[in-house]
A and B are shown apart, each in its own frame.
Chain A
Amino acid sequence: MLNNFVMPDLYPAAPELFLATMACVILLVDLFAGPARRWLTGSLTLLTLIGCAAVTFLTFDGTSSLTFANMFIDDPVADFLKFLVCIAVVVVLIYGRDYMAERNLDKGEYYLLVLFATLGMMVMISAYNFLTLYLGLEMMSLSLYAMVAIDRDSPRATEAAMKYFVLGALASGLLLYGMSMIYGATGTLELGLVAQALQDGVANRTIMVFGLVFLVAGIGFKLGVVPFHMWVPDVYHGAPTAVTLFISSAPKLAAFAMALRLLVSGLFGMADQWQTMLMIMAVLSIGIGNLAAIAQQNIKRMLAYSGISHMGFMLLALMSGVVGRETDPMALVNAYSSAMYYSVAYVIMSLGAFGMVLLLSRAGYEAENLEDFKGLNKRSPWFALMMMVIMLSMAGIPFFVGFFAKFTVLLAAVAAEHVVVAVIAVMFSLVGAYYYLRVVKLMYFDAPVDSAPIRASVDMKILLSANGLAVALLGLFPNTLMMLCTATLVRSL
């Protein structure tokens, strides 16, 4: 085997290396800074993430390169998603800062867990080998389990963390088992070689399908789609809202990347198999997610179910790449770029929605029931407008980004001749419109029950406004983001 040490090319992994180094530095700084200078940890974390985004941006060259013995890939899709992950985490930290501080949860561990989870996501996004993927996934997941339980005294959070951990570990086990099957059939862990083996027809198809089922189950769990969705509402509900905000945003991008790498880069030769599986999961998610969301009184649970249905929509695009058994490059690009666009749009909307929940929460008070949004228009017309924009966008009403996300996905589905599935999907999004409109109704039609003024730091207010405006502006001018998704994907496929 390898007889001599070869220094790997570190340049493609520059953002990860930067983040890992800084995380270790912050670990030490936090140790010596102590509780009195806690702000130092927080600020350094923010700067690190912004720096990481900058490094990702600066090292972007529009080409794909492999490193670490083909275990790690740095392609435009990876750079784009990593950049968005960093930005999303920055937003999460700013939205959640006051919330965590008021509950005395903004300890060093919180920031470090955020950093390590981010690192895990970035590794996941760049994985080109089953092992790298699994490493990144576990790094992210373990950090997230701990973050959910960060409020040690809350029984609800502990329960949620326990559920998340047990089910998450099970899913990781399934994923690993699937990977081992595929390894057994192809003799390699590298995604490119797996694809090659499939193309050459040397892999045992039965074992491959067997492994594929487990892989898809693992992906389904991480995305939180039916029938692997049970953890989503409980974890979203139980976790501190700032952590829910985190779980609902950046990891979705990483999970999308995981699905893209495994299914498209690795197992594309079995597209006809996994497309059917994804179709079942997509339809069930859109249906059950939207129906269950209606019954929720807690907005975190409602958004959890809504997230399930959104991920179902994302899968709808992911399964529309290959028509029949023909591979049409145009259809591929349309399908996968719209899945990516949908994920990005969802993250932007989800950040805004949970940001609003955080905005209304204050010391000793969790604004997590739908009732808490009553009469928001009286209390703050501006933020009521922003929330309305976000809710209508999630419902898929134009001119907001959520509409164009649904637009691209449905167009891809219709182009792939899945007209019936598309019709089912739009019918359930009609059901979905009901509960989003209910939030608008509470804000605009009802009188306020809580007249406390909305207090939040200026930077959060500005950022939240920018978030709401982004949802509106990306809807008025949707082309740029669509093109970015398409262009990066074309250069990576």
Chain B
Amino acid sequence: MNSSLLSLAIWVPIIGALPLLALGSERRELVRWLALAVAIAGFAVTLPLYLDFDRQFVGMQFVEMAPWIPRFNVQYFLGVDGISVLFILLNAFVTILVVLAGWEVIQEKVAQYMAAFLIMSGLMNGIFAALDAMLFYVFFEASLIPMYIIIGVWGGPSRVYAAFKFFLYTLLGSLLMLIALFYLFLQAGGSFNLLEWHQLRLTMTPQILIFVAFLIAFAVKVPMWPVHTWLPDAHVEAPTGGSVVLAAIMLKLGAYGFIRFSLPILPDASHYLAPMMIALSLIAVVYIGFVALVQADMKKLIAYSSISHMGFVTLGFFIFNQIGVEGALVQMISHGFVSAAMFLCVGVMYDRMHSRQIADYGGVVNKMPKFAAFFMLFAMANAGLPATSGFVGEFMVILGAVKHNFWVGFAAATTLILGAAYTLWMYKRVVFGAVGNDHVAELTDIGWREFLVLALLAAAVLAMGIYPFPFTDIMHASVDNLLKHVAMSKL
């Protein structure tokens, strides 16, 4: 199969962003509509990826290959399997939401704001589609630039600190990864082709060293405990759109890195270090869950809840069974929807009150009933209530974990209590009760644009919770293949 769909998915948003930059910040209305058009076009070109995806076929589909840097045998090599295709769709979908969410809130430098998000969307599609390690790496690092700008220009009071922390933290990890990529390049006899790397034989010591280099890169991005500290800062300071993309897509890059790089290239090291990975994941799930409980800032609370949920994802990967890995992937997609929705909900309130402190709210339901209903649904999904998407992934991972080891599963299951506790307690304090103060009394309910954004997400969350088959079906063959790779020793 040869098509240019993946190239389109990458370059349509990026090239579409250029006229926005050229238009400048004068004609705001035009810029917004144009940005929306580009985002929708970007989503439209990804749809055939899902519809025409061959579910039985094991391996990469929609493959594109062209020499990019023949001097070092770097290829412009794109392709998706059942795992990555979902993230490209999710990314393109979230981009539309972000454009809509920034419609009225962003009044300064509108063109640059929209362009930054569109460019980032294209770059992240590139990360998910790249099958050449260097191509992956350049997209991986380049995606830091727009996010740095977004946090720094449109962020909150200590945005500068957060932007630097975000950038340098992530760069630290990826630079070590670069050295590991060079090593693999030389071992593979001068090839950056990821699929060839999956077959590459490596002895234990290099495997472990490379695993550690990759771990630092991906763990920062996921983020795993203890390198998670940049995330709460970045989330709190970023504008709503930034938080949404950060939580929904950027965090997935690290986890995606584990399945594309660490597991298949370094199966022996993965097995050897799995207990450590499981321990780190459980610390994230349990300890960060407690940390989330005591947060006074809503965005911080959701940020910590994200870390805790991502702990589930890494846990699912490193128990090496089908249901665990699939559960982790479902959890990634679901978290993409739910965390995006949670941040949008906080954004809706923040736009009206200019406060993220839980204490400043109370009784919001009296003034914003429609909003409260949506927020309720997303809070439940975040807590992992059955019939929402949050339940499916967590349940599958817990099942897988119990299969692996009862006590691991037991520890993971505490999230059902913790998650419910911190989310619902926050929800109760913010939404229920009597009207807290005069500011809350002046709140107005959501407008049609906000309604549309939240409704789209609500539909996704419910659909995935009630009938997850379309999501699991597409990834089935690829996960199978992945596990086969992981089970094969390379020693």
Chain A residues within 8 Å of B, Cβ to Cβ: 377, 381, 385, 392, 397-399, 403-404, 407-408, 410-411, 414-415, 419, 422-423, 426-427, 429-430, 433-434, 437, 440-441, 444-445, 478-479, 482-483, 486
User: Could you pull out 25 A-B pairs where Cβ atoms are within 8 angstroms?
Assistant: A377-B109, A381-B21, A385-B21, A398-B142, A403-B138, A407-B178, A419-B183, A422-B179, A423-B179, A426-B178, A426-B179, A427-B175, A430-B168, A433-B168, A434-B164, A437-B164, A437-B168, A440-B148, A445-B159, A445-B160, A445-B163, A479-B70, A482-B71, A482-B72, A483-B71
Q: Does B182 contact A (CB under 8 A)?
A: yes
CB distance from B83 to the nearest CB of A (A): 24
If the complex has contacts A414-B182, A414-B183, A423-B176, are A381 and B168 also in contact, measured as CB distance less than 8 A?
no
Task: Kindly name the residue among B67, B176, B178 whose own CB sees the greatest number of chain A CB atoms within 10 A.
Answer: B178
CB distance from A431 to the nearest CB of B (A): 9
Interface string of B129-144 (1 = CB under 8 A from A): 0000010011101101
Complexed CA–CA distance, A141 and B261 (Å): 51
Q: Does B69 contact A (CB under 8 A)?
A: yes
Q: Which of B188-247 contact A (CB under 8 A)?
A: none
CB distance from B191 to the nearest CB of A (A): 13
Does the CB pair B186–A414 fall under 8 Å?
yes
Complexed CA–CA distance, A427 and B71 (Å): 26
Q: Does B145 contact A (CB under 8 A)?
A: yes
CB distance from A293 to the nearest CB of B (A): 15
Does the CB pair A444–B153 fall under 8 Å?
yes
Given contacts A399-B142, A415-B186, A444-B149, 11 further A-B contacts (CB under 8 A): A381-B21, A392-B145, A397-B142, A398-B137, A408-B72, A411-B182, A434-B164, A437-B164, A441-B164, A445-B152, A479-B70
* Chain B, interface SS category: helix
Give the size of the chain B interface in residues (CB under 8 angstroms): 38
In the complex, what residue of chain B is closest to A403 when comparing beta carbons? B138
Nearest 8 A/B pairs, CB to CB: A398-B138, A426-B175, A414-B182, A482-B71, A445-B152, A479-B69, A398-B142, A411-B182
Residues of A within 8 A of B374 (CB): none
Q: Which one, A399, A404, A423, A437, contacts B148 given CB within 8 A?
A: A437
CB distance from B369 to the nearest CB of A (A): 39
Q: Which of B149-164 contact A (CB under 8 A)?
A: 149, 152-153, 159-160, 163-164
In the complex, what residue of chain B is closest to A423 when comparing beta carbons? B179
In the complex, what residue of chain B is closest to A389 when comparing beta carbons? B145
Residues of B within 8 A of A414 (CB): 179, 182-183, 186
Q: Which one, B21, B72, B141, B171, contacts A411 given CB within 8 A?
A: B72
Complexed CA–CA distance, A228 and B344 (Å): 55
If the complex has contacts A430-B171, A482-B69, are A419 and B179 also in contact, measured as CB distance less than 8 A?
yes
CB distance from A124 to the nearest CB of B (A): 27
Residues of B within 8 A of A377 (CB): 109, 112
In the complex, what residue of chain B is closest to A385 when comparing beta carbons? B21
Residues of A within 8 A of B182 (CB): 410-411, 414-415, 422
Chain B residues within 8 Å of A, Cβ to Cβ: 21, 24, 67-72, 109, 112, 134, 137-139, 141-142, 144-145, 148-149, 152-153, 159-160, 163-164, 167-168, 171-172, 175-176, 178-179, 182-183, 185-186
Complexed CA–CA distance, A406 and B7 (Å): 26
Complexed CA–CA distance, A392 and B144 (Å): 11
Residues of B within 8 A of A483 (CB): 70-71
Complexed CA–CA distance, A63 and B141 (Å): 40
Residues of A within 8 A of B167 (CB): 433, 437
In the complex, what residue of chain B is closest to A334 when comparing beta carbons? B72
Does the CB pair A441–B160 fall under 8 Å?
yes
In the complex, what residue of chain A is closest to B164 when comparing beta carbons? A437
Complexed CA–CA distance, A114 and B407 (Å): 76
CB distance from B210 to the nearest CB of A (A): 11
Complexed CA–CA distance, A404 and B163 (Å): 24
Complexed CA–CA distance, A426 and B217 (Å): 13
In the complex, what residue of chain A is closest to B159 when comparing beta carbons? A445
CB distance from A302 to the nearest CB of B (A): 16
Residues of B within 8 A of A381 (CB): 21, 24, 112
Complexed CA–CA distance, A441 and B164 (Å): 9
Does the CB pair A410–B178 fall under 8 Å?
yes
Q: Which one, A407, A408, A430, A482, contacts B172 given CB within 8 A?
A: A430
Residues of A within 8 A of B134 (CB): 407
In the complex, what residue of chain A is closest to B154 when comparing beta carbons? A445
In the complex, what residue of chain B is closest to A433 when comparing beta carbons? B171
Complexed CA–CA distance, A269 and B140 (Å): 42
Does the CB pair B152–A441 fall under 8 Å?
yes
Does the CB pair B152–A444 fall under 8 Å?
yes
Q: Which one, A411, A427, A434, contacts B185 given CB within 8 A?
A: A411
Residues of B within 8 A of A403 (CB): 138, 141
CB distance from B150 to the nearest CB of A (A): 10
CB distance from A410 to the nearest CB of B (A): 6
Task: Kindly name the residue among A407, A419, A478, A482 whose own CB sees the greatest number of chain B CB atoms within 10 A.
Answer: A407
Complexed CA–CA distance, A285 and B21 (Å): 39
Residues of A within 8 A of B21 (CB): 381, 385
Residues of A within 8 A of B144 (CB): 397
Residues of A within 8 A of B141 (CB): 397-398, 403
Complexed CA–CA distance, A419 and B109 (Å): 44
CB distance from A349 to the nearest CB of B (A): 16
Residues of A within 8 A of B145 (CB): 392, 397
Complexed CA–CA distance, A444 and B186 (Å): 40
Residues of A within 8 A of B109 (CB): 377
Complexed CA–CA distance, A434 and B72 (Å): 29
CB distance from A399 to the nearest CB of B (A): 6
Residues of B within 8 A of A437 (CB): 148, 164, 167-168
Complexed CA–CA distance, A407 and B178 (Å): 9
Residues of A within 8 A of B138 (CB): 398-399, 403
In the complex, what residue of chain A is closest to B123 when comparing beta carbons? A399
CB distance from B133 to the nearest CB of A (A): 12
Task: Kindly name the residue among B72, B139, B159 whose own CB sees the greatest number of chain A CB atoms within 10 A.
Answer: B72
Does the CB pair B175–A430 fall under 8 Å?
yes
Residues of B within 8 A of A482 (CB): 69, 71-72
In the complex, what residue of chain B is closest to A404 when comparing beta carbons? B69
Residues of B within 8 A of A411 (CB): 72, 182, 185
In the complex, what residue of chain A is closest to B25 when comparing beta carbons? A381
In the complex, what residue of chain B is closest to A446 when comparing beta carbons? B160
Residues of B within 8 A of A441 (CB): 152, 160, 163-164
Complexed CA–CA distance, A429 and B178 (Å): 13
In the complex, what residue of chain B is closest to A426 when comparing beta carbons? B175
Q: Which one, B68, B142, B152, contacts A479 given CB within 8 A?
A: B68
Complexed CA–CA distance, A381 and B153 (Å): 13
Complexed CA–CA distance, A423 and B112 (Å): 35
Residues of A within 8 A of B179 (CB): 410, 414, 419, 422-423, 426
Complexed CA–CA distance, A55 and B214 (Å): 50
Complexed CA–CA distance, A408 and B74 (Å): 12
Residues of B within 8 A of A423 (CB): 176, 179
Residues of B within 8 A of A445 (CB): 152-153, 159-160, 163
CB distance from A441 to the nearest CB of B (A): 6
If the complex has contacts A397-B142, A414-B186, A426-B179, are A486 and B71 also in contact, measured as CB distance less than 8 A?
yes
Residues of B within 8 A of A408 (CB): 72
In the complex, what residue of chain B is closest to A417 when comparing beta carbons? B186
CB distance from A178 to the nearest CB of B (A): 34
CB distance from B310 to the nearest CB of A (A): 24
Task: Kindly name the residue among A392, A426, A478 whose own CB sees the greatest number of chain B CB atoms within 10 A.
Answer: A426
Does the CB pair A434–B168 fall under 8 Å?
yes
Complexed CA–CA distance, A433 and B144 (Å): 12
CB distance from B147 to the nearest CB of A (A): 12
CB distance from B71 to the nearest CB of A (A): 4
Task: Kindly name the residue among B67, B139, B160 whose own CB sees the greatest number of chain A CB atoms within 10 A.
Answer: B160
CB distance from A316 to the nearest CB of B (A): 13
In the complex, what residue of chain B is closest to A398 when comparing beta carbons? B138
Complexed CA–CA distance, A430 and B160 (Å): 17
Residues of B within 8 A of A397 (CB): 141-142, 144-145, 171
Complexed CA–CA distance, A41 and B159 (Å): 51
Complexed CA–CA distance, A404 and B145 (Å): 17
